[in-house]
């Protein structure tokens, strides 16, 4: 960004790059709708089998980059309640 | 053979109605028989842009519901006798537009017109999907701006999947019309350039309409810009686009205003 400023370049290259990244993801998502929703449900289902937590203490963040994306799952587990071990079936 | 054209964009306010009126009038001026249909039920505006707002008696919904026959609802333009308008209704009931009804109206219009131009509402809801449903070709109106380009990409996806032609396994012809373009700002890197937009959307270019005060002046007086000032830069760009729609090959450029020496000295400052 500072390079653009230094040479008094406009903001269009930034717009172009942001669009290219965003649209690459949106086009991919069209064939696989609501990837984030599916991931959230399945991850929570797995964890809730082993740990008790409140659904609204779960934060899921997605950061999409050009070559790598990160999915951040942050689950607050209350102390004291501890781990509820699933009964072996 | 009749061509059904949808003018669409996803995003609102990018120039769908302006472009429908300007392209419709440009085609009609070349002698083709043209009908423009307003699909924006509840928020009709094509009548206003064409200066026909006081002549609306029946509308598209009336025809679909059998209240009026199609010829009764068609309004002939006062300046061009080959240009017709089928207005939208001002009812708030969006479900008034039925898929069967729209199909029948378009089928009937195919018998008498060379061009059936459907002015889509903004968004991706019912009105927008019905406007594109029976199209043979689409004009995607895009501003060189991030939200407009993103929405155009979304609309291109819908054109390739939700239209009758796409469902039959055929390809719908897509044409990109970039409006409100400012060559100077693009070359200074302040605005997405035509090359940027084309690289991102990968759709053939139909035309580049320069940003111009003539466009607002035209809608103020209720006339397509191709009729109100046919020699202005945006009008020339629309005429070129209309000829490309007819299959002609014309070099792509961004018209600039031709100002006489008097205007240069004393005229209003160009945008």
Tell me how far apart the alpha carbons of residues B232 and B216 are, in angstroms, rounded to a whole number: 13
Tell me how far apart the alpha carbons of residues B198 and A11 are, in angstroms, rounded to a whole number: 18
Residue A6 has pLDDT above 60, yes or no: no
Q: Report pLDDT digits (tens) over A18-70.
A: 999 999 888 887 776 677 778 878 888 888 888 888 878 888 787 777 788 78
The residue of B192, B193, B197, B202 whose CB has the most chain A CBs within 10 angstroms, and thus the best one to mutate to test that interface, is B192
What's the CA dihedral at A39, A45, A47, A49 to 10 degrees? -160
The residue of A10, A24, A28, A64 whose CB has the most chain B CBs within 10 angstroms, and thus the best one to mutate to test that interface, is A10
Residue B29, both tokens: 């001026």
Which residues of chain B form beta strands (DSSP E)?
Answer: 3-8, 34-38, 75-76, 83-86, 115-119, 137-142, 173-181, 205-210
What pLDDT sits at residue B20? 98
Residue B20, both tokens: 């429908």
Q: In angstroms, what separates the C-alpha of A84 from chain B's closest C-alpha? A: 45
Q: Quote ipTM for the complex.
A: 0.83
B189:A26 CB<8 A? no
pTM, 2 dp: 0.83
Q: Report pLDDT digits (tens) over B14-33.
A: 999 999 999 999 999 999 99
Q: Report pLDDT digits (tens) over B66-123.
A: 999 999 999 999 999 999 999 999 887 767 889 999 999 999 999 999 999 999 999 9
Contacts of A16 in chain B (CB under 8 A): 192, 196, 199-200
Contacts of A23 in chain B (CB under 8 A): 150, 153, 200
């Amino acid at each position: 960004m500072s390079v653009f400023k230094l040479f008094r370049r406009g903001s269009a290259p930034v717009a172009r790059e942001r669009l290219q990244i965003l649209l690459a993801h949106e086009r991919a998502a069209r064939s696989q709708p609501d990837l984030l929703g599916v991931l959230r449900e399945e991850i929570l289902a797995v964890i809730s089998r082993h740990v008790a937590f409140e659904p609204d203490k779960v934060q899921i963040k997605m950061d999409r980059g050009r070559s790598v994306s990160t999915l951040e799952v942050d689950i607050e587990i209350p102390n004291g309640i501890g781990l509820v071990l699933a009964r072996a079936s | 053979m009749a061509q059904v054209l949808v003018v669409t964009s996803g995003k609102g306010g990018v120039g769908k109605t302006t472009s429908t009126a300007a392209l419709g009038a440009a085609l009609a001026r070349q002698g083709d028989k043209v009908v423009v249909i307003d699909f924006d039920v509840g928020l009709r505006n094509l009548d206003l842009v064409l200066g026909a707002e006081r002549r609306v008696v029946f509308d598209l919904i009336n025809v679909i519901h059998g209240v009026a026959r199609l010829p009764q609802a068609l309004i002939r333009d006062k300046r061009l006798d080959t240009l017709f308008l089928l207005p939208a209704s001002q009812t708030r009931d969006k479900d008034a537009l039925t898929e069967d009804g729209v199909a029948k109206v378009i089928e009937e219009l195919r018998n008498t017109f060379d061009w059936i131009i459907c002015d889509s509402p903004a968004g991706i809801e019912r009105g927008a999907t019905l406007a594109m449903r029976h199209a043979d070709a689409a004009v995607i109106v895009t501003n060189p701006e991030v939200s407009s380009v993103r929405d155009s990409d979304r609309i291109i996806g819908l054109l390739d999947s939700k239209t009758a032609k796409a469902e039959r396994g055929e390809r719908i012809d897509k044409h990109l019309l970039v409006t409100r373009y400012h060559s100077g700002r693009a070359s200074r890197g302040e605005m997405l350039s035509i090359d940027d937009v084309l690289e991102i959307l990968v759709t053939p270019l139909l035309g580049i309409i320069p940003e111009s005060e003539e466009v607002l002046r035209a809608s103020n007086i209720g006339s397509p810009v191709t009729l109100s000032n046919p020699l202005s830069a945006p009008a020339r760009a629309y005429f070129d686009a209309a000829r490309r729609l007819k299959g002609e090959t014309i070099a792509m450029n961004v018209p600039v205003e031709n100002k006489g020496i008097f205007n240069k000295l004393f005229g209003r400052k160009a945008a």
